[in-house]
Structure 1
Amino acid sequence: MSSLRAKIQDVFNEPACEQNRGKDAKARKEGCSKPLTPGAAAGGCAFDGAKIVLQPITDVAHLIHAPLACEGNSWDNRGAASSGPTLWRTSFTTDLTELDVVMGRGERKLFKAIREIKEAYGPPAIFVYPTCVTALIGDDIEAVCKRAAEKFGLPVVPVNAPGFVGSKNLGNKLAGEALLEHVIGTVEPDDAGPYDINILGEFNLSGEFWLVKPLLDRLGIRVRACIPGDARYLDIASAHRARAAMMVCSTALINLARKMEQRWDIPFFEGSFYGITDTSEALRQISQLLVKKGADPEILGRTEALIAEEEAIAWKKLTAYRPRLEGKRVLLNTGGVKSWSVVHALMEIGIEIVGTSVKKSTVEDKERIKQILKDDNHIFEQMAPRELYAMLSEHKADIMLSGGRTQFIALKAKTPWLDINQERQHPYAGYDGMVELVRQIDFALHNPIWRQVREPAPWDCQTAVREELPSTKSETATLHVVQEFAGTTIDDFGGC
């Protein structure tokens, strides 16, 4: 536990974080994570954050050393996609019971589970995750993993991020520490070249990195490791031989990028593949970093030629949507890199941003938003559901872009909504991804269902019809009225 405490303090004191550098020594040690409320960590604890970062490593077995309930649905945990192995989608857990805890059989059960996975699946590595229960009872995860690795001849990686130590974001960083300590640098590639790069913090949600990788392939740039999206264990193990790196989500793995630069001299920058301008700028910066590390400068010219070609194609496709979307008002309730990159992308085609959240955004993210919007009034840290509903029901926005947690607020307000978080079903990265995002916004805004749901309910209209009917006191008169109004529709009464 003392080693875990030291790792947490090291992660909190992050020199690469501009906000952290501005604090005094005591404040730096406290970090940026908000303290958890006991019993309210579900979905936002350190274990959840570590699993999110590492699970997309597709050929690895992810073993949860905990009671059964700590393991979630591995198949639909996030929208990350794999081009090959599906082992990462299989749930492995030691399924500890009360008797195992009382009798102290946790370590023995973990060792047995590792052996069973090795014999049944033969993965290149096994990642072991302790949770609150196994950390509190004192199971020595690192000792068991070390012994199992020696016994079975494969890497067994302890991911020491039990839920109670902090927030999801802290778990992201502890996962990066596990990769640095046990994985990266353990395999020497025999094909390292001057055009190898790493992409960090890219999760390949809905397969969107597959829209970007062909652009890099055309430039002759090889992605040595994409961490974690659609990754393979051996690729990550040899990631230390890349020449440059791009950080997509700095709040998750900034510590990984900084320490790889310190240990192996791999320079990195933070960029985005959302939007036409940001995608082009990311390609330029990748090429410039490679040239600084010894690549042929001719790649700069090829990059500009590729950018000009792809931008022309993308803008031509977007021309058809501009008249339908220009001036439409969008409310963004997301965070992190999307808080500024999606804003920039939408403004490029004339969409008005009436508000964007900066939850989980870094200081650099917030500064970018201010430069783009030129108005702090459109930026909010977080908005209560009641305020979101009021804003949408008063028609201050034409559509809301957010995650699944707030979709029902938009639906209750009878406002179009589009998912842009990890649960989304469509890829939005790169030039083609930007076209797809605009296409989906257009679909959502102009779906005829919104006109229908905003009309009065049928029973309200029936009340109006009954008020139009003359009062009758006899069965004969009633029959006459029914015959008179037979075949009449609600519209014949002028609505409600």
Structure 2
Amino acid sequence: MSSLRAKIQDVFNEPACEKNRGRDAKSRKEGCSKPLTPGAAAGGCAFDGAKIVLQPITDVAHLIHAPLACEGNSWDNRGAASSGPTLWRTSFTTDLTELDVVMGQGERKLFKAIREIKEAYAPPAIFVYPTCVTALIGDDIEAVCKRAAEKFSLPVVPVKAPGFVGSKNLGNKLAGEALLDHVIGTVEPDDAGPYDINILGEFNLSGEFWLVKPLLDRLGIRVRACIPGDARYFDIACAHRARAAMMVCSTALINLARKMEQRWEIPFFEGSFYGITDTSEALRQISQLLVKKGADPEILGRTEALIEEEEAIAWKKLAAYGPRLEGKRVLLNTGGVKSWSVVHALMEIGIEIVGTSVKKSTVEDKERIKQILKDDNHMFEQMAPRELYAMLSEHKADIMLSGGRTQFIALKAKTPWLDINQERQHPYAGYDGMVELVRQIDLAIHNPIWCQVREPAPWDCQPAVREELPRTKSETATLHVVQEFAGTTTDDFGEC
């Protein structure tokens, strides 16, 4: 437990974090994120964050040393995609019971589970995740993993991120520490070249990275490791021989990028593959870093030629949507890199941004938003559901882009909604991804269903009363009784 405490303090003291650098020594030890309230894990715990980062490594067996519910609540929590192995889609857990805890059988059960996975699936590695229960009862995960690795001649990696130590974001960083301590640098590749790069913080949601990788392939740039999206254990183990790196989501793995630069002199920059301009700029910066590390400068010319060609194709496709979307207002309720990269992407085609959330954004992310929007009036740290509903019901936005948790607010306000977070079904990265994003926004805004749901319901329309024939005294008395019961008079009846 003392080693875990030291690791957490090291992660909190992150020199590459602008927010952290501005604090004094005492404040820095308190951590980058707001501590969890006991019993309230909404938004994810540290275990959940570690699982998010490591589960997309597709050929590895991910074993949860915990009661069954811990695995059930964290499995498949991101829509990452794999181009090959499917082992990561299989759930493994030691399924501890009360009897195991009382009798001290946790470590024995963990060792047995590792052996069964090795014999049944023969994975290249097994990642073991302790959770709150197994960390509190004191199971020595590291010792069991070390013994199992020696016994079975198989890398068994302890991921020390039990849920109670902090937030999901802290778990992201602890997962990066596990890769640094036990995986990266453990294998020496025999094919290292001057055009090898790493992509960090890219999760390949809905296969997004597959829209970007062909562009790099055309430039002769090889992705040595994409961490974690569609990754393989061997590729990550060899990641220390890349010449440059691109950081896609700094809130998750900034510590991994910084320490790889310190240990293996791999320079990195933070960029985005959302939007035409940002995709082009990312390709330029990758090429420039490779040239600084010894690659042939001719790659710069080939990069500019590729950018010119791809931008022309993308803008030609987007031209059809310009008249339909120009002046449309978008509300972004997301965070992290998307809080500024998607803003920039949408503004390129004439869409107005009425607001963007910065709850999960870094200081650098917020500065980028200010530069793009020219002010910070459209930035909000957090907006309560009631405020979101009021904004949408008053038609201050034509569509909301957010995650699944707020979609029902938009639907209740009878406003189009599009999923921009990890549950999305469409890839939005790269040039083709930008076209797809605009296409989905156009489909959502101009869907004819919105004209129908905004019409008054038939039962809210009172039909006009037409006296074509004289009423009898009985009919008139009955009508007055009905009107009195309904709280109306004859003057209230009319067209809706």
TM-score (norm 1): 0.95
Q: d(CA) in 2 for partners of 1:479 and 1:209? A: 68
State the SS of the aligned residue for 1:157: strand
Q: Is the Cα contact below 8 Å between 1:428 and 1:434 reproduced in 2?
A: yes
C-alpha distance in 1, partners of 2:261/2:85? 30
Distance (whole Å) between structure 1 residues aligned to residue 61 and residue 465 of structure 2: 64
Contact 1:74 1:89 in 2 (8 A): no
Q: CA 1:461/1:284 → structure 2, altered by over 3 Å: closer, same or farther?
A: same
Change beyond 3 A, Cα 1:67–1:463: farther
Alignment-derived partner of residue 104 in structure 2: 104
Cα deviation digits, residues 15-63 of structure 1 (max 9, x gap)? 0111111111111111211111111115510000000000000000000
Is the alpha carbon distance of 1:475 and 1:135 closer, same or farther for their aligned partners in structure 2, counting shifts above 3 Å? same
Please list every run of 5 or more consecutive structure 2 residues that lacks an aligned counterpart in the other structure.
none
User: 1:212-240 deviations in whole A, cap 9, x for unaligned?
Assistant: 00000000000000000000000000000
Counterpart residue number, 2:257? 257
Instruction: Assess, with a 3 A threshold, how the Cα gap between structure 1 residues 120 and 452 changes in structure 2: closer, same or farther.
Output: same
* Structure 1 position 486, deviation (Å): 25
1:469 shift after superposition:
11
**Corresponding residue of 1:211:** 211
User: In 2, Cα distance between the equivalents of 1:198 and 1:225?
Assistant: 5
Cα pair distance change 1:212/1:490, threshold 3 Å: farther
Cα distance in 1 between the residues matched to 2:491 and 2:275 = 45
**Structure-2 residue corresponding to 1:422:** 422
Do the aligned residues in 2 keep the contact of 1:472 with 1:478 (CA within 8 Å)?
Answer: no
Residues 467, 88 of structure 1: alpha-carbon distance in 2 compared, 3 angstrom cutoff: farther
Q: Taking structure 1 as reference, are residues 483 and 375 closer, same or farther at Cα in structure 2, changes over 3 Å only?
A: closer
Q: Secondary structure at the match of 1:154?
A: coil
Cα pair 2:51 2:74 within 8 Å, conserved: no
1:111 to 1:493, Cα distance in 2 relative to 1, 3 A: same
Flag the 1:470–1:132 CA change in 2: closer, same or farther, 3 A.
farther
Q: State the number of aligned residues.
A: 496
Task: For 1:118-137, list aligned pairs within 5 A.
Answer: 118-137=118-137
Contact 2:464–2:494 (8 Å) recurs in 1: no
- Identity percentage of aligned residues: 96
Structure 1 range deviating more: 38-47 or 78-87: 38-47
Instruction: Report deviation, 1:72.
Output: 2.5
SS at match of 2:383: coil
Judge conservation of contact 1:261–1:268 (CA < 8 Å) in 2.
yes
Question: Does the 8 A contact of 2:463 with 2:495 survive in 1?
Answer: no
Is the CA contact 1:461–1:490 (under 8 Å) kept in the aligned structure 2?
no
- Per-residue deviation, residues 255-274 of structure 1 (Å, max 9, x unmatched): 00000000000000000000
User: Quick one: structure 1 residues 469 and 341, their matched pair in 2 at CA, closer, same or farther if it must change by over 3 Å?
Assistant: farther
**How far is the alpha carbon of 1:187 from its aligned partner?**
0.4
Distance 1:491 1:31, change over 3 A: farther
Contact 1:53 1:172 in 2 (8 A): yes
Task: Measure the CA separation in 2 of the matches of 1:300 and 1:489.
Answer: 80
What is the alpha-carbon distance in structure 2 between the residues aligned to residue 166 and residue 68 of structure 1? 21
> Any conservation in 1 of the 2:127–2:158 contact (CA below 8 Å)?
yes
- Residue-by-residue CA offset, 1:93-133 (whole Å, 9 max, x unaligned): 00000010011100000000000101111100000000000
Aligned equivalent of 2:144: 144
- Counterpart of 1:467? 467
Between the aligned partners of 2:262 and 2:242, the Cα distance in structure 1 is 13
Matched position secondary structure for 1:396: coil
User: 1:273·1:430 contact (CA, 8 Å) conserved in 2?
Assistant: yes
Larger deviation: 191-200 or 482-491? 482-491
1:481/1:246 CA distance change after superposition, 3 Å:
same
1:43 and 1:68 map into 2 onto residues whose CA distance is 20
Worse-matched range after superposition: 67-76 or 130-139 = 67-76
Matches of 1:472 and 1:403, distance apart in 2 = 61
Q: For residue 129 of structure 1, give the secondary structure of its aligned residue in structure 2.
A: strand
Structure 1 residue 34 and structure 2 residue 24: aligned?
no
What per-residue deviation string (whole Å, max 9, x for no partner) do you get for residues 343-384 of structure 1?
A: 000000000000001111011100000000012111111111
Distance 2:205 2:20 in 1: 29
Write the distance in 2 (CA, Å) between the matches of 1:486 and 1:30: 62
Is the CA contact 2:332–2:401 (under 8 Å) kept in the aligned structure 1? yes
* Secondary structure of the structure 1 residue equivalent to 2:33: coil
1:93: which partner in 2? 93
Change (3 A) 1:480 1:311: same
**C-alpha separation between the residues in 1 aligned to 2:328 and 2:46?**
39
The change in CA–CA distance for 1:469 and 1:425 in structure 2 (over 3 A counts) is farther
Distance in 1, Cα, partners of 2:342 & 2:390: 23
Q: Distance in 2 between matches of 1:468 and 1:454?
A: 33
Q: CA deviation at 1:335?
A: 0.3
Q: 1:489 offset after TM fit, Å?
A: 24
1-structure distance, mates of 2:469, 2:55: 65
Instruction: Go from structure 1 to structure 2 and tell me whether the alpha carbon gap of 1:486 and 1:247 turns closer, same or farther (over 3 Å shift).
Output: closer
Tell me, in whole angstroms, the C-alpha distance in 2 between the residues paired with 1:113 and 1:130. Answer: 13
SS in 1 for 2:226: strand
Match for residue 13 of structure 2? 13
CA pair 364-476 structure 1, distance change in 2 beyond 3 A: closer
**Partner residue of 2:453?**
453
SS in 1 for 2:463: helix
Contact in 2 for aligned 1:149/1:156 (Cα 8 Å): yes
DSSP-derived class of the 1:463 partner: coil
Structure 1's 462 and 256: CA in aligned 2 closer, same or farther, altered over 3 A? same
Q: Is the CA contact 1:19–1:363 (under 8 Å) kept in the aligned structure 2?
A: yes
SS of residue in 1 equivalent to 2:467: helix
Q: CA RMSD in A?
A: 3.8
Asked whether the equivalents of residues 48 and 74 of structure 2 are also in contact (C-alpha less than 8 Å), the reply is no
Q: Secondary structure at the match of 2:101?
A: helix
2:412 corresponds to which residue? 412
Deviation at 1:472, TM superposition (A): 7.2
Instruction: With the length of structure 2 as denominator, give the TM-score of the two structures.
Output: 0.95
Following superposition, the deviation at residue 242 of structure 1 comes to: 0.2
Deviation at 1:196, TM superposition (A): 0.1
Secondary structure, in 3 states, of the residue corresponding to 1:62? strand
Structure 1 residue 78, shift from structure 2 partner: 1.1
Q: Deviation of residue 464 (structure 1)? A: 6.0
Distance 1:147 1:483, change over 3 A: closer
